[in-house]
A and B are shown apart, each in its own frame.
Chain A
């Protein structure tokens, strides 16, 4: 949005409330600390110094769903785990978003069997799917940027 250019030396900004709300939502999005399988390793790597996800305003993973607004489903979800995932999602305060990270979370991946959920969109509504097995940290970060684009386009009248 380029707030700093609009500031000038008057100390006053004019903007649409919609833009300001969406901007504030995107730039402080806290993901939940929740890894299910090998994708979680890539998620940690994206968090750590080398890729440093905090450049995009995601300073810290929250260990509690009550404090987070983004759920990254990192890994395959077993049917036994599915009710737990749904409960964690229900515990997150609005507004909340979900990224399905990797092939297993997106569609079951190579595991087409009784034990695993064939895509977490059967359990929670997913905003962004990130492909890859596992996706590289760049891919996850790209998924998050894509989510930002989506959030920036949200309208108040759709939320009501």
Chain B
């Protein structure tokens, strides 16, 4: 672990009961979802992580408890270090508290999270869809979202698919 990171991780462990994993020099700190906002505030104000460079998630389907990890990638430009926070979220009604009031950039990232994973950001100021069409149902980046959309049209099933296809009227 980076020497500059050690006191920060230690502080997170003491204050928030965080656990820590390390893989090839990259540090992942697991924080319960109730305390993520306080942890982000602390990291921003005290440890100079000015930038939330990524906010995304991973789906560990079919594992359900927890099913998702919400990932906050923080960068400190003054100290030249990065830190990854992970919040485990359960599969039924997944939700996290919004980080918009700590990092303004989380606004669109959390809207994307709601689109793609269906993880609700509680208290989000503008929870509309960001990338998907408004009438779209389902969350495409979940592992149980079906791959492919339309059955490919070959000679043997050409007419069958052609009949079902919703052609435009003039």
Contact = CB atoms under 8 A, between A and B. Distances in A.
Interface string B145-159: 101111011000000
Contact of B170 (A107, A116, A123, A125): A125
B34 to A, nearest CB: 33
Report the interface size class on chain A.
10 to 19
Question: Secondary structure at chain A's binding surface: helix, strand, loop or mixed?
Answer: loop
B46 interface: no
A137 to B, nearest CB: 27
Contact of B166 (A80, A112, A114, A122): A122
Given A80-B131, A80-B133, A107-B153, A122 B167 contact: yes
A121 interface: yes
A115 interface: yes
Report the interface size class on chain B.
10 to 19
B167 A121 contact: yes
- Which has the most chain B C-beta neighbours within 10 Å: A114, A123, A125? A114
A122 B149 CA distance: 14
Interface of B: 131-133, 136, 138, 140, 145, 147-150, 152-153, 165-170
Given A80-B131, A82-B133, A115-B140, 15 more contacts: A79-B136, A80-B132, A80-B133, A86-B168, A112-B148, A112-B149, A114-B136, A114-B138, A114-B145, A118-B149, A121-B165, A121-B168, A125-B168, A125-B169, A125-B170
Interface of A: 79-80, 82, 86, 107-108, 112-116, 118-119, 121-125
